[in-house]
């Protein structure tokens, strides 16, 4: 394994941070590292908002499900899918705007994810810990108003950054053969592999939470996928101009 591989395999979300500030220049370098990611059709459909104001941060933390780390992280960024900026090129060149297809929504959202993950890897390489915050989609309208997001821009997730004040274990992932298939999709043999993996996850949670909840992966996912999940998103996206034609 080379150094980059080692770094990737050592990832774990960090939710407790020291008081050490993140150097402004380092932060700018991280966002530039994000910009260096591949971008669909060269659209560059992502915008990053750094939230510094304590009141605004406090409000976001509450809206994102009262997550303590959103409140306490030295840096908090909101990563937005942005079709407004590329859309304004149509105006400039006197072309009709048709950037409201589902495909454009996918392009911009994928751009955000690729940019973010580049930022995360760059941050971890600099000794920082990070935690993505999908919780901002609990109340996307309020978050968008707080950040003054115009039509054509939506908040995909937040990102907490800071120097780690905890050292959690790496969370075990599904066995490779469950995820990597040859030629065609097949789930043959996966039930057994997943059953074995479930025990690994159960043990991971048991030791990590001090004998607390020994839930397994399948049970956790069943809980998630058997309930409605942010049903407001469809209307919110439509209102923001992501009409999914």
Ligand X SMILES: Cc1cc2nc3c(=O)[nH]c(=O)nc-3n(C[C@H](O)[C@H](O)[C@H](O)COP(=O)(O)O)c2cc1C
Contact footprint for ligand X (CB under 6 A): 11-13, 15, 67, 131-135, 157, 171
Phi–psi pair at 238, nearest 5 degrees: -60, -45
Q: How far apart are CA 156 and CA 69, in angstroms?
A: 18
- The token pair at 29 is 């370098």
Q: Which of 241, 228, 229, 245 has the alpha carbon at shortest distance from 80?
A: 241
Nearer to ligand X, 12 or 232 (CB): 12
- Closest to ligand X by CB, 134 vs 189, is 134
Q: CB of residue 94 vs ligand X: minimum separation in angstroms? A: 38
Residue partners of 181: CB distance under 8 A and separation at least 6 = none
> Distance of alpha carbon 15 from its chain centroid, rounded?
14
Look up residue 204 and give its two tokens: 């991971």
Distance from C-alpha of 78 to C-alpha of 135, rounded to nearest angstrom? 11
Considering the complex, state which of residue 127 and residue 134 has its C-beta at the smaller distance from ligand X.
134
In terms of CB distance, is 95 or 228 closer to ligand X? 228
Residue nearest to ligand X (CB): 134
Smallest gap from residue 192 Cβ to ligand X (A): 23
Nearer to ligand X, 71 or 151 (CB): 71
> Closest Cα to residue 74, out of 22, 28, 31?
22
Within 8 A by CB and 6+ apart from 110, the residues are 40
Question: Torsions phi, psi of 108, nearest 5?
Answer: -65, -40
Q: State how beta strands 46-50 and 153-162 pair.
A: unpaired
Shortest CB 134 distance to ligand X, Å:
3
Least distance CB 172 / ligand X (angstroms): 9
Q: CB of residue 51 vs ligand X: minimum separation in angstroms?
A: 15
How many C-beta atoms surround the C-beta of residue 71 within 10 A? Answer: 16
Residue 30 C-beta: closest distance to ligand X, Å: 17
CB of 159 to ligand X, least distance (A): 9
Q: Which is nearer to ligand X, 11 or 56 (CB)?
A: 11
- CB nearer to ligand X: give 13 or 39: 13
Sign of CA dihedral 160, 164, 168, 173: positive
């Amino acid at each position: 394994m080379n150094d980059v591989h080692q770094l990737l395999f050592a990832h774990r979300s960090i939710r407790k941070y020291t008081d050490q500030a993140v150097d402004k220049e380092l932060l700018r370098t991280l966002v530039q590292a994000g910009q260096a990611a591949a971008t669909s059709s060269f659209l560059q459909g992502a915008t990053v908002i750094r939230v510094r104001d304590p009141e605004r941060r406090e409000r976001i933390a509450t809206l994102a499900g009262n997550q303590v780390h959103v409140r306490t992280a030295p840096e908090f960024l909101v990563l937005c899918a942005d079709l407004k900026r590329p859309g304004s090129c149509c105006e400039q060149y006197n072309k009709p705007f048709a950037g409201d297809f589902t495909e454009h929504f996918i392009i911009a959202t994928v751009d955000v994810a690729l940019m973010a993950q580049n930022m995360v890897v760059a941050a971890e390489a600099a000794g920082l810990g990070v935690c993505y915050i999908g919780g901002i989609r609990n109340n996307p309208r309020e978050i968008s108003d707080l950040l003054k997001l115009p039509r054509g821009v939506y908040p995909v997730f937040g990102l907490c950054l800071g120097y780690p004040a905890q050292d959690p274990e790496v969370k075990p992932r599904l066995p490779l053969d469950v995820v990597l298939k040859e030629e065609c999709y097949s789930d043959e043999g996966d039930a057994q592999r997943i059953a074995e993996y479930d025990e690994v996850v159960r043990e991971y949670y048991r030791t990590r939470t001090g004998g607390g909840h020994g839930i397994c992966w399948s049970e956790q996912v069943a809980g998630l996928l058997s309930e409605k999940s942010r049903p407001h998103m469809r209307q919110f996206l439509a209102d923001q101009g992501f009409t999914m034609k």
